[in-house]
Amino acid sequence: MASDRDLDWLLPPDVERLRTLERWSLVLLELIRDRIAEIECRDRATEAARSGPIAAPLTDWKVEMPIGAGPQSSVLVHTADCRLASGRTRPATREQVLDALRRPQVEVCSICPAARDLGVTSS
């Protein structure tokens, strides 16, 4: 590792400015990761378009996202044909739903048979 003397020209001498640089680096890293994911997704879509149409996988589940993002906001799991689900739903596989149900803010719809079909007890 480089000695402290080698880095004196690059980094500020006080903790406050170093913490600012640390936060900025984390923000920049997240932006870089988002851009990488965006480009990879675009590349996959381009490759898929070259390969021809692929049938979308059918899902038997919907995950309903909350209106607010507060700590009390809950996420609901529904069967794909549940009429109680709002327009804020996303399709999900059984594995994704079971994984989501491990989190305390995720609940199973009490109207549709999602709990029975998944073999879980609704809370």
Digitized pLDDT (tens) for each residue of the chain, 123 residues in all:
556 567 788 889 999 999 999 999 999 999 999 899 889 888 888 887 787 665 555 568 888 877 765 555 568 888 888 887 777 788 888 888 888 888 888 888 888 887 777 777 655
What pairing do the DSSP bridges indicate for beta strands 89-92 and 106-108? unpaired
Q: Is 56 helix (H, G, I), strand (E, B) or coil?
A: coil
Of 83, 80, 74, the residue nearest 56 (C-alpha): 80
β-strand partners of 44: none
Q: What is the pLDDT of residue 59?
A: 66
Q: What is the pLDDT of residue 86?
A: 78
Cβ atoms within 10 Å of 42's Cβ, excluding its own: 10
pTM of the model: 0.46
Q: What is the pLDDT of residue 41?
A: 84
Tokens encoding 80? 């794909």
**Angstrom distances, CA of residue 83 to CA of 55, 59, 86, 92, 112:** 25, 16, 8, 16, 8
